[in-house]
Amino acid sequence: AQNSNIVQSCNGASLNEEQGRALQYLAKLCPGSSHEDLGKLFLLFEREQYSKGAIIWRQGSRSDCLKLLVVGTLVAVLEDEESMKEEIIPGSMLGELGLVTMTDRLSTVKCTSENVVLYSMSRSKWDLLVKDDPRLARFIDLIVVRYLEHRVQHVSNRIFETRCLPV
């Protein structure tokens, strides 16, 4: 049973409102999922809170979780090319590719806003999900596919715009 007291998070919204927002983001990332599916998935996530400047993970580190950004903003930076940055906004999932494919982190992720709230699924919870409910795990697999599709399309558009191929 859920505690009936409303716990305030740092941004002034209640924890219940924040969890509701997290579930809405998860629903957008998992089209075709039922309320029951979303509830089961959400139970596998744990809330984490960070401050501006905190490093979520470093490029090359082991992929041991995926995260759903609910409050605040992050930036992903390629260590070798500081100019290569990508802003990460609320509603985004990050770390999903490394978790699913068991590859190391491709970028360093840092907090850029004063208050950041993430919901995190650990490797152990992911492994249990794959074993116990592969149909539900498929929703995460499909997020990976959609994100990869978006990245490939972005690169293709850049090649088309510049009329040059990477060497």
pLDDT tens digits along 12-40: 568 899 999 999 999 999 999 999 999 99
pLDDT tens track for 112-132: 999 999 999 999 999 999 999
Which pLDDT score is estimated for 114? 97
Q: CB burial class (10 A; 0-12, 13-18, 19+) of residue 89?
A: exposed
How far apart, in whole angstroms, are the C-alpha atoms of residue 23 and residue 19? 6
Strand partners of residue 111: 74
Which pLDDT score is estimated for 5? 30
Which pLDDT score is estimated for 160? 61
pLDDT tens track for 65-108: 999 999 999 999 998 876 788 899 999 999 999 999 999 999 99
Mean pLDDT, to the nearest integer, of 44-64?
Answer: 97
Which pLDDT score is estimated for 161? 64
Tokens 């990976």 found at: 144
Secondary element (H or E) of residue 131: helix 123-132
Output the six-digit token pair for 95: 């770390």
- Cα–Cα distances (Å) from 12 to 36, 71, 115, 124, in that order, read 28, 11, 11, 32
Which pLDDT score is estimated for 2? 33
Could you tell me whether strands 115-122 and 108-111 are parallel, antiparallel, or unpaired per DSSP bridges? unpaired
Domain coordinates of the chain in residue numbers?
15-149
- Which has more confidence, 6 or 42? 42
- Cα–Cα distances (Å) from 102 to 44, 60, 62, in that order, read 19, 12, 8
Superfamily of domain 15-149: Jelly Rolls (2.60.120.10)
Which pLDDT score is estimated for 97? 92
